[in-house]
Amino acid sequence: MIQNRPAGQGGGRAAFACRPERSRGRRFAEPDSTTRNAFQRDRDRIIHSTAFRRLKHKTQVFVQPDGDHFRTRLTHSLEVAQIARSVGRVLGVDEDLVEALALAHDLGHPPFGHAGEEALDQVLRPYGGFDHNEQAIIIVTRLEARYALFDGLNLTWEMLEGMVKHNGPLPREGRVVPPAIAAYDREFPLDLASHASAEAQVAALADDIAYHCHDIDDGVRAGLFAPEDLDGVPLVGEALAAVRRAYGAIETTRLIHEAVRRMIDAMVRDVVAMTLANARGIESAAEVRALGRPLVAFSPAMAKANLDLKSFLYANMYQHASIVDTREGAKRLVRDLFGWYVADPALLPPDWRQRAAAGDEADRARIVKDYVAGMTDNFALREHAKIGGKATLLQ
């Protein structure tokens, strides 16, 4: 039983874990593999997908030309997967499903991070807007057209459910279910009104841990703030103080690395302890989905510290003048590309051009959206320069 496994020591499979041999299956039936279980195959299909490779050249916070050492969507996804798998191992949930969900969580992001998403959402408002989670489902169920017998990656029900609901049941926050998710759910029901599996919840919190902790590293590296500016911020200030007590005055790179690893450790230990407490009496994955609240969670104190850290990063990093200027340039670039392709589909590659010409105005907008959202930062910059004659974001 999970409640008998001390936090931090690992152990056997939790009663509430998903089990590959009990998977609800794939939309299109396939023979079982003799060497891998269902969730291992999901993970491998994500890793070998075109969309996953493109994450190498998609922005996390800093546009790639800004430097070689800042995180991209790919390196961020790998860091999320490492944290998620570590948490999943201690909790006794399925590590392969956790890892697959972590690796897939950013597949739907367009070029230039949240700036690209905001630009696409703006130009697509007449057609339902843009949502990166919806786009991820479009990618793995349709756009990854690689297999002979079906479009998409034909992932398991548990994988698709986790991708759709890792942030909670749908709809949420008064919004309708994104159209592509609603349409797919009608064909292959994903139980949208329930919570997702423990594995999906682990991947979602690992994303928060990786994002906030590693943005501290990138923010200092970029010179947006100094270690001293972090001393009063909960969690990170405590970590910095612990490093200074242990090692005295050390160079900034070592100081920040030692602090960040302590932050990650503290957050991981907190979520493990809180989840183990929440899991008392939970005997199946079905009970996790029906619980009515997240099973995997921070303690109230850690959740508050995480929000305070997010507020600091928002004010001092995401809203920093240099980041805002680049973000506004990126928005203009994405809006330009979308407008040019919609106005003249002949600018699209042949296969995309044919699809855009075959539908009505709404169909054309959605096809152009899929094309632009799949671009890397580098490709978008090159296309913008080729079509519009502007080579940088800020011109």
Residue 72 bridge partners (DSSP) = 59
C-beta of residue 57 within 8 angstroms of C-beta of residue 378: yes
Q: What is the model's pLDDT at position 292?
A: 94
Round to whole Å and give the CA distance between 381 and 297. Answer: 39
Q: Given a cut of 60, is residue 7 above it in pLDDT? A: no
- Listed residue (215, 123, 207, 127) closest to 163, CA to CA: 207
Q: What is the model's pLDDT at position 391?
A: 55
Q: What is the model's pLDDT at position 325?
A: 86
pLDDT band at 3 (very low <50, low <70, confident <90, very high): very low
Q: Which fold has domain 35-187?
A: Hypothetical protein af1432 (1.10.3210)
Structure confidence by residue, pLDDT tens digits, 131-148:
999 999 999 999 999 999
- Listed residue (393, 379, 51, 59) closest to 218, CA to CA: 59
Q: How many CA atoms lie within 13 A of 385 on its CB side?
A: 10
Out of 136-145, 201-210, 323-332, which region has the weakest mean confidence (pLDDT)?
323-332
pLDDT band at 62 (very low <50, low <70, confident <90, very high): low
Q: Given a cut of 70, is residue 23 above it in pLDDT? A: yes
Query: Average pLDDT for residues 73-90, to the nearest whole number?
Result: 96
C-beta of residue 112 within 8 angstroms of C-beta of residue 330: yes
For the chain, percent of residues with pLDDT exceeding 70: 93
Q: What is the model's pLDDT at position 69?
A: 57
pLDDT band at 68 (very low <50, low <70, confident <90, very high): low
Round to whole Å and give the CA distance between 198 and 193. Answer: 16
Query: Average pLDDT for residues 206-216, to the nearest whole number?
Result: 94
For the chain, percent of residues with pLDDT exceeding 90: 84
CA 329 distance to own-chain centroid:
23
Query: Average pLDDT for residues 227-244, to the nearest whole number?
Result: 96
Query: Average pLDDT for residues 45-60, to the nearest whole number?
Result: 94
Highest mean pLDDT of the ranges 8-12, 66-70, 315-319: 315-319
Q: Given a cut of 80, is residue 158 above it in pLDDT? A: yes
The model's pTM: 0.93
Where in the chain is CATH 1.10.3210.10? 35-187
Record the tokens describing residue 314, joined without a space: 């928002």
Q: At what angle do helices 198-221 and 252-278 cross, to 10 degrees?
A: 160
Round to whole Å and give the CA distance between 144 and 159. Answer: 16
